[in-house]
Structure 1
């Protein structure tokens, strides 16, 4: 394309941290040497064996509607195909792309290249206000998490998310490392005897996760844990959850005063690999 040169990212380019940590990256330099856009890839394997290559990119406003976005996306898809061929993943391979509400050009680009919306995540916010504590189920106690809870928390998360698509849980050791460097005073766990029944993790102004073992679900444990965490925090908080509400989490959050403030959409399509 006349007017743009695609080249690898170099130290000193804008969007440095984002591109420096990517598996693959590319920038588009305009004739005057400034950066008109960039693209990158990161990948992971979901718990059901699907390998995902997430295409990320940006075109500055002055250079939009000139075909540069499509050029960057095509280059990113070609890079994903090369990486997949090198790694030979055992399961299906999907390309992914993100678009937020209002990013109509991005949606048009993705859908025009054959991507379809797979799911939507919503950011929710609750303003600072009092919250009545919900009763704990009989036989349940609550305490702060410890680093030694890492293994049990990981096994609980595996059970709670089992069978759900689009999930990629971190390994247990990464959870242990995270617990070791986090403020565990706002990470509460619920126990039934020696067994871990549920947890809620708050870091800063974000509720990072709420989880309940399937054997203890539908008994009010999630709401009891979350109301205690909100009361301890005392300020405005936010969280991210699935818009389609497969497990009732969004409904719970709305009952406790959370409101949707933005939506984040993931688009996907199968990666065609050369054989």
Structure 2
């Protein structure tokens, strides 16, 4: 059995990892149109690995890369500290213990980092796997992780979309960078009390708008008050509905449906052959999935989110 060495990630590893995963994309069931797990782009991959708390590559005795592992952490709004372990093992190196080794190494790093954590909330390990990754699901479950929620990726079926009427007093316009403070306030209200959520800061929201196609980033207002948003983006691989938010005072009044149908009417005219995708919570805690299904979206793939306690 080949013994792999785990060494720290180096920037030059990013294109090698990209080529490795691209080579095995078909065997992995990779989806080139995915909004949840888009094909790795070398630069995005490099940035993600460099921002991680811990990142390694697994190499064989000839220094050929066979996989990678990483750990990143954040604190959710309810005070939960999350250490998310992630990784990839190329098909030829699977079923030889490498995935289990990467998982154990990342858990050991999380335990060391956890010792210095000063918050009072719970501390957990997290792991992700999709329904086309049975080996990853089995590894997490054997290691004591339990599924806590599911994300679903959905694709529009191409059926005609009838625009819905906006609630009285609401107008819709394209977003501007000046909307960032109002978007922060809307996000805080729309997501208040939701589990598994970490509020983005103002700089992150500003960066999102600066990278967005503002003609496809619509905000709803009542007077000067921003009460909703629908943001979309277009790439050669797909059109994505990135976010839908409605102020709690306007929920259940048809605002989300009206904004989405307007956006979908625009997107359908320019979609060409690319799919329209979005993702949302599988258990439908606020009715988002049900709304999307009524508007012609169908579940394409499920992504399971696992956690287990981390002792300090």
Q: Output the CA distance in 2 between the equivalents of 1:10 and 1:173.
A: 27
Question: TM-score, normalised on structure 2?
Answer: 0.83
Say whether 1:269 aligns with 2:308.
Answer: yes
Q: Output the CA distance in 2 between the equivalents of 1:10 and 1:66.
A: 24
Say whether 1:225 aligns with 2:259.
Answer: yes
Give the drift of 1:185: 1.2
Match of 1:251 in 2: 290
8 Å contact from structure 2 (residues 232, 242) kept in 1: yes
Question: TM-score, normalised on structure 1?
Answer: 0.93
8 Å contact from structure 2 (residues 159, 296) kept in 1: no
Of 3-12 and 43-52, the range deviating more from structure 2: 3-12
Provide, for residues 161-199 of structure 1, a one-character-per-residue CA deviation record: whole Å limited to 9, x for no partner.
111100112112321232233221111111122222211
Q: Output the CA distance in 2 between the equivalents of 1:218 and 1:80.
A: 41
Aligned pairs, number = 273
SS of match in other structure, 2:305: strand
Say whether 1:7 aligns with 2:4.
Answer: no
Give the drift of 1:27: 2.2
Of 180-189 and 42-51, the range deviating more from structure 2: 180-189
Work out which of the residue numbers 221, 224, 244 in structure 2 matches 1:210.
Answer: 244
Q: Output the CA distance in 1 between the equivalents of 2:266 and 2:65.
A: 46
Match of 1:83 in 2: 113
Give the drift of 1:140: 1.3
SS of match in other structure, 1:190: strand
Give the drift of 1:233: 1.6
Closer/same/farther in 2, CA of residues 39 and 181 from structure 1, 3 Å limit: closer
Closer/same/farther in 2, CA of residues 11 and 179 from structure 1, 3 Å limit: closer
Q: Output the CA distance in 1 between the equivalents of 2:289 and 2:211.
A: 29
Match of 1:188 in 2: 218
- Unpaired runs of 5+ in structure 2? 18-44
- Residues 168-187 of structure 1 correspond to what in structure 2 (within 5 A)? 168-187=198-217
Give the drift of 1:260: 0.8
Give the drift of 1:128: 4.1
Provide, for residues 81-108 of structure 1, a one-character-per-residue CA deviation record: whole Å limited to 9, x for no partner.
1122234334221110011103111111
- Unpaired runs of 5+ in structure 1? none
